[in-house]
């Protein structure tokens, strides 16, 4: 079942305003701000140590895996899929890529085509599992193993959908909290008005938006002006006019934008430019709670209408998906590994793979997984 936008908006409006590790009480803004700064310093620090699994299943031999992408125009899904293809090659597996083209019918068609290939496993890359639950259950009933990426609201097994053995993602609440606290800290203790951009058809987007709101409203001088719920698949047509309308509605009250991924800002920048917003220092300033796309890194580096992204380690997550699939095919339980979140700003944009416009941690994950699998 697809989560209706009306229901999703009600859930967003009624969500408890609680940020993990932070109090929602407004008695001490100075303490909240100090904790926010310490938290951000940690999530922006270099990632050099492997903290993932060191044991698991040896490579199970040649297999056929279908990678079903929500939309190959989405940099996150593309990056995670590319990482999975790279890891599968290391195991000697065959891979087929299918593009869901960002629509519900497209997702269904791509998954049905994947099932028709009779693969050993399907990687559901970015398609909300509730949306396509009957087809995923069909795959599982045929003995096809299913592993997801951003296929549900949290890492690990997805409640009520046993067909998906595990969902690979950073903790969306931590990703979103990082983005929200960046807006709070950048406001330098002054007032800030925030617009949250989301797509409530995706459970993970709703989870992120709730956590963004919690982080922002935990500080008394910051408030959420509006939750702008607009489809990711149609941003190229909608985001420009939406940006113009919001500028007219809120004017200088709108100081920060928080979006559930970078794609929103691919299409807001032209409208901001037409409105005369300074690309480096003007308002609203834009922060993304994922995924760390190539255009996002370029915007941050060039100081062009984006100041931060909480990037996913997309290529590493592709390797995680393949490791989880290998464990499933070997009859083992998922590893449960959840990679840490990482904040990129102009201060660290060329570190941790950022120089190549991606978050690719220098923690040796490729070699670590090859050791587990017993391959070179």
Residue range 82-109, pLDDT digits in tens? 999 999 999 999 999 999 999 999 999 9
Residue range 283-296, pLDDT digits in tens? 999 999 988 999 99
Residue 190: per-residue pLDDT: 86
CA–CA gap between residue 151 and residue 129 (Å, rounded): 5
Contact between 182 and 308 (Cβ < 8 Å): yes
- Strand 308-311 to 342-345 pairing: antiparallel
Q: Is pLDDT at 24 greater than 50 in this prediction?
A: no
Residue 14: per-residue pLDDT: 39
Contact between 306 and 299 (Cβ < 8 Å): yes
Exposure string for 256-290, b = 16+ CB within 10 A, e = fewer: bbbbbbbbbbbbbbebbeeeebeeeeebbbbbbbb
Exposure string for 293-315, b = 16+ CB within 10 A, e = fewer: bebbbebbbeebbbbbbbbbbbb
Q: Is pLDDT at 175 greater than 70 in this prediction?
A: yes
Stretch 112-127: mean pLDDT, rounded?
A: 98
CA–CA gap between residue 357 and residue 346 (Å, rounded): 12
Q: Which domains does the chain have, with CATH numbers?
A: 5-43+172-311 (3.40.50.2300), 64-169+314-335 (3.40.50.2300)
Residue range 207-259, pLDDT digits in tens? 999 999 999 999 999 999 999 999 998 999 999 999 999 999 999 999 999 99
CA–CA gap between residue 369 and residue 372 (Å, rounded): 5
pTM of the full structure: 0.83
Q: CA separation (Å) from 329 to 164, 167, 312?
A: 13, 16, 26
pLDDT averaged over every residue in the chain = 92
């Amino acid at each position: 079942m697809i989560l209706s936008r009306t229901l999703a908006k009600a859930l967003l409006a009624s969500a408890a305003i609680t940020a993990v590790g932070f109090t929602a009480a407004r008695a001490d803004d100075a303490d909240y701000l100090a904790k926010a700064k310490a938290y951000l310093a940690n999530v922006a620090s270099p990632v050099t140590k492997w903290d993932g699994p060191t044991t698991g299943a040896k490579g199970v031999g040649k297999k056929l895996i279908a990678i079903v992408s929500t939309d190959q125009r989405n940099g996150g899904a593309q990056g995670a899929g590319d990482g999975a293809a790279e890891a599968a090659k290391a195991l000697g597996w065959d891979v087929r890529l299918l593009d869901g083209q960002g629509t519900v019918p497209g997702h269904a068609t791509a998954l049905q085509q994947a099932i028709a290939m009779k693969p050993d496993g399907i990687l559901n890359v970015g398609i909300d599992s509730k949306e396509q639950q009957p087809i995923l259950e069909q795959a599982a009933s045929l003995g096809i193993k299913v592993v997801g990426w951003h296929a549900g609201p949290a890492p690990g097994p997805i409640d009520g959908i046993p067909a998906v053995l595990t969902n690979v993602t950073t903790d969306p609440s931590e990703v979103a909290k990082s983005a929200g606290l960046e807006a709070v800290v950048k406001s330098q203790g002054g007032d800030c008005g925030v617009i949250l951009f989301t797509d409530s058809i995706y459970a993970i987007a709703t989870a992120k938006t709730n956590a963004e709101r919690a982080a922002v409203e935990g500080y008394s001088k910051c408030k959420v002006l509006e939750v702008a719920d607009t489809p990711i698949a149609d941003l190229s047509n909608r985001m420009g006019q939406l940006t113009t309308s919001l500028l007219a509605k809120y004017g200088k009250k709108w100081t920060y934008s928080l979006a559930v991924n970078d794609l929103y800002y691919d299409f807001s920048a032209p409208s901001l430019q037409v409105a005369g917003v300074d690309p480096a220092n003007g308002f609203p300033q834009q922060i993304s709670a994922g995924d760390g796309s190539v255009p996002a890194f370029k915007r941050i580096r060039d100081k062009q209408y984006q100041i931060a992204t909480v990037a996913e380690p997309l290529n590493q997550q592709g390797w995680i998906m393949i490791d989880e699939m290998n464990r499933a095919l070997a009859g083992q339980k998922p590893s449960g590994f959840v990679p840490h979140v990482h904040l990129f700003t102009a201060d660290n944009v060329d570190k941790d793979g950022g120089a190549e416009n991606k978050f690719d941690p220098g923690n040796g994950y490729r070699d670590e997984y090859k050791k587990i699998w017993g391959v070179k």
